[in-house]
């Protein structure tokens, strides 16, 4: 079948301008209102200004427990000449009572001395309206209570009800239909077959729309059939209870991507293709005067394009100002490449290390939903840039609060499964603390410490000449950095192979076989150095190893490649093999240490981590259960400079 093509590849600003112009021209933003009880108005947006129908208070009331008097009857009273008030010259009142018409002041009960016969004695004169809440003291009748387009807060409910407002006119949130498409997707809980994808995008998209103030409804999955898709879109757009339509997947140029051509037949495609990454194939259309947004199928692409176009649409519908995302300036922890000519939205983690706010990319994949789960912010790389260098100052649009970021413990270095155990237990014990780990290899961790961009780093570098772990590299690269080297664990490294070891791999010598494919770790990783050491000993040139240049950044992604049949073997820790039910061929027992700069050793976040690994029994039991770890030296100081 002939493939579709992009109608446009517009710069983002031009796409937004065309979309806005089309929405206004066709009158697509049609807010509706309803009148609801004030008791149900929390969080809703006012559709008109609200004025006070009554004053508050609407009568003169006592502000204290005591007696109500005419102030003129107290003139001359003093400690030297107390004044006696007979029963008819005052009225007992409690706080909130209406003042009798002949009274204009209140004397606190503490300043009143009861006498026989119902009289009282006072020892001080009082000014007019003392301890009296006068009519309109808080709110005066006809005063503006809430303006139009105001989000009703808890305190606003009190002001409305205090003046007698029982009902309020508010804007009805736009109803958004979220339609997932694709013959390969199945609902959660259904039996899975190879090629199936569990449908979760619509849940993410509906969740964000709800968070932004819309009323989102997920619809059933539509298979890859243009007639089925046309029928669904037409039915939804003709439904008067639906205001906006969001279609997920089918927006690109594949042979089964029908969204653009169907929307073109039903209405007007305003934009198809925006010069952004991820999210390029987004579709902006209008059908039956209703906005329709066609999103790419990859979850990250879908979320980012919905943020760009869907959030603005909901804000307009509700009459809210489109406030800029809160942003900060940060330093890049490592270089980042970007395709020239395309605006790139990069997900980053953030952490405050000393006086530096450090940004580390979480990943580029448009289908990698965890890159958004872990992200603290979004870095926008302009289309005219080919990338950003390490240490460059960049603007980050925040996805988390600065308070959360300030409590983030920044770990950069070699990957280990223990880090996930630490992150979970640390967050459980100290909910404010988050562990942000960036897996760039042992050497990358040491360089991050050198640049002052991490609270701590993980390393397992073996010096071939001395047989010592980590210390020779620290002395060479970080000679002037006061630090402590603390052991996390001894761990088993080995070659991972599928269950049953179908190719009979016994060691590194088998990597030169034509029928064996290898999956490697990135340059600078301790595991990569260990691999190179064994190849050197066996005199096997790297170019003779099939897959030597295929790189992954963690033990788990190496294990996943082997488990998924994308490689026959790879070097990783025993815990990764256990996690994915792989066989394991032992190669080495190595020492994995934490490098902690002395400057951060007393930081509360670092101290909490060191306390956890040194004495927590649950931590030790959990790590031991992963397999392949020896915690005999865990928490022990191995070296200090």
Region of 399 on the Ramachandran plot (φ > 0 left; ψ -120 to 50 alpha; else beta): alpha
* Pairing of β 569-573 and β 518-521: parallel
pLDDT digits (tens, 9 = 90+) for 396-415: 999 988 888 888 999 999 98
Which residues, other chains included, contact 8 with Cβ-Cβ below 8 Å and sequence gap of 6+?
15, 271, 272, 273, 274
Q: Give dist(CA 312, CA 314) in Å, integer.
A: 6
For residue 472, the surrounding DSSP H or E stretch is: helix 471-477
CA-nearest of 100, 90, 99, 96 to 67 is 90
In contact, 293 and 246? CB cutoff 8 Å: yes
In contact, 66 and 103? CB cutoff 8 Å: no
217 in the same domain as 112: no
**Whether the predicted pLDDT of 127 surpasses 90:** yes
CA-nearest of 259, 244, 235, 166 to 205 is 244
Backbone angles phi, psi at 487, to 5 degrees: -70, 135
pTM equals 0.79
| C-alpha to C-alpha distances, 579 to 355, 417, 503, 613, nearest whole angstrom | 39, 10, 21, 22
Q: Give dist(CA 80, CA 71) in Å, integer.
A: 19
| Segments forming the whole domain that contains residue 544 | 453-640
**Whether the predicted pLDDT of 3 surpasses 70:** no
> If you write DSSP's letter for every residue of 279-298 in order, what string do you get?
-TT-EEEEETTEEEEEE-SS
628 in the same domain as 531: yes
- The one-character DSSP state at 230 is H
For residue 345, the surrounding DSSP H or E stretch is: strand 343-353
525 in the same domain as 595: yes
CATH number, domain containing residue 81 = 2.170.190.11
Please check whether residue 419 lies inside any domain of the structure: no
96 in the same domain as 50: no
Please check whether residue 378 lies inside any domain of the structure: yes
Please check whether residue 198 lies inside any domain of the structure: yes
CATH number, domain containing residue 614 = 3.40.190.10
Please check whether residue 443 lies inside any domain of the structure: no
pLDDT digits (tens, 9 = 90+) for 415-462: 899 999 999 999 898 888 988 888 888 998 999 899 888 999 999 999
619 in the same domain as 473: yes
> If you write DSSP's letter for every residue of 499-532 in order, what string do you get?
TT-TT---SGGGGGSTT--EEEEPTT-HHHHHHH
**Whether the predicted pLDDT of 562 surpasses 70:** yes
| Domains of the chain: total | 5
Neighbours of 545 (CB within 10 A): 19
Please check whether residue 468 lies inside any domain of the structure: yes
- Per-residue pLDDT band for 324 (boundaries 50, 70, 90) equals confident
Q: Give dist(CA 520, CA 523) in Å, integer.
A: 9
| C-alpha to C-alpha distances, 17 to 21, 26, 270, 308, nearest whole angstrom | 6, 14, 11, 12
Neighbours of 393 (CB within 10 A): 11
Q: Give dist(CA 312, CA 123) in Å, integer.
A: 66
Instruction: Return the pLDDT at 406.
Output: 87
Instruction: Return the pLDDT at 253.
Output: 63
593 in the same domain as 461: yes
Instruction: Return the pLDDT at 8.
Output: 73
194 in the same domain as 101: no
121 in the same domain as 38: no
In contact, 8 and 273? CB cutoff 8 Å: yes
Q: Give dist(CA 64, CA 268) in Å, integer.
A: 68
Q: Is 428 exposed, middle or buried (0-12, 13-18, 19+ CB in 10 A)?
A: exposed
What's the mean pLDDT in 248-261?
A: 76
Instruction: Return the pLDDT at 254.
Output: 61
> If you write DSSP's letter for every residue of 559-606 in order, what string do you get?
HHHHHTTS-SEEEEEHHHHHHTT-EEEEEEEEEEEEEEEGGGTTSHHH
CATH number, domain containing residue 146 = 3.90.105.10
CATH number, domain containing residue 389 = 2.40.340.10
Q: How many CA atoms lie within 13 A of 364 on its CB side?
A: 9
Please check whether residue 437 lies inside any domain of the structure: no
Q: How many CA atoms lie within 13 A of 479 on its CB side?
A: 1
**Whether the predicted pLDDT of 117 surpasses 70:** yes
Instruction: Return the pLDDT at 1.
Output: 37
Instruction: Return the pLDDT at 207.
Output: 96
| C-alpha to C-alpha distances, 135 to 58, 62, 441, 459, nearest whole angstrom | 5, 11, 72, 73
pLDDT digits (tens, 9 = 90+) for 327-377: 999 988 778 888 888 899 999 989 888 888 988 887 666 667 777 888 899
254 in the same domain as 123: no
Percent of the chain having pLDDT more than 90? 74
Q: Give dist(CA 234, CA 226) in Å, integer.
A: 12
pLDDT digits (tens, 9 = 90+) for 215-237: 999 999 999 899 999 999 999 99
In contact, 196 and 186? CB cutoff 8 Å: yes
Q: Give dist(CA 374, CA 172) in Å, integer.
A: 33
Instruction: Return the pLDDT at 5.
Output: 53
Domain stop point among 406, 438, 463: 406
> If you write DSSP's letter for every residue of 52-101 in order, what string do you get?
-SS-BSSS-EESSSEEEE-GGGGTT--SSS-EEE-GGG-EEE-TTPBPPT
CATH number, domain containing residue 288 = 3.40.980.10
Please check whether residue 544 lies inside any domain of the structure: yes
Instruction: Return the pLDDT at 367.
Output: 64
Q: How many CA atoms lie within 13 A of 217 on its CB side?
A: 13
Max CA pair span of the chain: 116
In contact, 22 and 287? CB cutoff 8 Å: no
pLDDT digits (tens, 9 = 90+) for 7-58: 678 999 999 999 999 999 999 999 999 999 999 999 999 999 999 999 989 9
Is the sign of the CA dihedral 441, 447, 450, 452 positive or negative?
negative
Mean pLDDT of all residues in the chain?
Answer: 92
557 in the same domain as 479: yes
291 CA to centre of own chain = 27
pLDDT digits (tens, 9 = 90+) for 612-633: 999 889 999 999 999 999 999 9
How large is the angle between the packed helices 617-626 and 604-615, nearest 10 degrees? 70
| C-alpha to C-alpha distances, 589 to 493, 518, 628, nearest whole angstrom | 6, 21, 9
Please check whether residue 280 lies inside any domain of the structure: yes
In contact, 85 and 121? CB cutoff 8 Å: yes
156 in the same domain as 120: no
Region of 524 on the Ramachandran plot (φ > 0 left; ψ -120 to 50 alpha; else beta): left
205 in the same domain as 222: yes
């Amino acid at each position: 079948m002939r493939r579709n093509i992009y109608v446009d590849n517009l710069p983002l600003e031009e796409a937004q301008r065309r979309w806005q112009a089309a929405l206004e021209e066709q009158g697509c933003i049609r807010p509706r209102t309803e009148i609801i009880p004030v008791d149900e108005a929390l969080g809703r947006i006012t559709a008109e200004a609200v004025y006070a129908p009554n004053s508050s208070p609407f009568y003169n009331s006592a502000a204290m427990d005591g007696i109500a008097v005419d102030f003129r009857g107290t003139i001359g009273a003093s400690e030297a000449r107390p004044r006696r008030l007979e029963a008819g010259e005052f009225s007992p009142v409690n706080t909130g009572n209406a003042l009798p018409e002949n009274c204009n002041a209140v004397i606190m009960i503490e300043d009143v001395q009861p006498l026989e016969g119902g009289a009282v004695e006072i020892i001080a004169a009082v000014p007019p309206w003392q301890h009296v809440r006068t009519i309109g003291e808080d709110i005066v009748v006809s005063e503006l209570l809430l303006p139009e387009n105001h989000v009703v807060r808890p305190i606003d409910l009190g002001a409305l009800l205090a003046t007698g407002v029982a009902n309020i006119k508010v804007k009805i949130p736009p109803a958004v239909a979220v339609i997932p498409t694709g013959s390969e997707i199945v609902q959660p809980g259904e039996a899975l077959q190879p090629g199936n994808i569990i449908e979760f995008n619509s849940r993410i998209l509906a969740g964000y729309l709800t968070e932004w103030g819309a009323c989102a409804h997920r619809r059933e999955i539509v298979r890859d059939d243009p007639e089925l898709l046309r029928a669904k879109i037409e039915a939804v757009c003709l439904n008067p209870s639906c205001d906006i339509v969001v279609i997920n997947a089918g927006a690109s140029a594949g042979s089964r991507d029908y969204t653009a051509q169907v929307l073109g037949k039903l209405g007007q495609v305003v934009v198809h293709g925006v010069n952004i990454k991820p999210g390029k194939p987004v579709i902006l259309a209008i059908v039956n005067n209703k906005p329709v947004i066609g999103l790419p199928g990859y979850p990250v692409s879908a979320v980012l394009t919905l943020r760009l176009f869907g959030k603005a649409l909901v804000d307009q519908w509700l009459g809210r100002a489109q406030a800029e995302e809160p942003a900060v300036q940060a330093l890049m922890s490592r270089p980042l490449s970007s395709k020239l000519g395309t605006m790139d939205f990069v997900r980053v983690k953030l952490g405050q290390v000393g006086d530096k706010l450090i940004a580390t990319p979480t990943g580029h994949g448009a289908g990698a939903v965890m890159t958004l789960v872990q992200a603290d912010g979004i870095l926008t790389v302009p289309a005219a840039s080919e990338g950003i260098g390490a240490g460059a100052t960049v603007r980050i649009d925040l996805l988390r609060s600065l308070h959360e970021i300030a409590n983030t413990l920044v770990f950069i270095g070699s990957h280990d499964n223990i880090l996930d155990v630490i992150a979970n237990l640390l967050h459980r014990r100290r909910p404010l603390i988050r562990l942000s780990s960036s897996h760039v290899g042992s050497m990358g961790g040491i360089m991050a410490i050198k640049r002052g961009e991490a609270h701590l780093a993980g390393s397992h570098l073996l010096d071939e000449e001395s047989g010592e772990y980590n210390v020779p590299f620290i002395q060479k690269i970080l000679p002037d950095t006061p630090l402590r080297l603390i052991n996390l664990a001894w761990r088993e490294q080995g070659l991972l192979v599928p269950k049953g070891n179908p190719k009979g791999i016994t060691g590194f010598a088998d990597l030169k076989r034509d029928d064996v494919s290898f999956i490697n770790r990135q340059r600078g990783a301790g595991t990569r150095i260990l691999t190179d050491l064994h190849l050197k000993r066996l005199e096997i040139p790297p170019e003779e190893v099939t897959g030597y240049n295929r790189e992954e950044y963690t033990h788990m992604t190496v294990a996943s490649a082997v488990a998924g049949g994308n490689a026959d073997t790879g070097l990783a820790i025993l815990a990764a093999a256990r996690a994915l039910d792989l066989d394991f061929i032992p190669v080495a027992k190595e020492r994995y240490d934490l490098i902690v700069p002395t400057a951060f050793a007393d930081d509360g976040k670092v101290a909490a981590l060191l306390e956890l690994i040194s004495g927590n029994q649950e931590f030790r039991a959990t790590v031991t259960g992963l397999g392949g770890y020896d915690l005999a030296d865990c928490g022990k100081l191995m070296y200090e400079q």
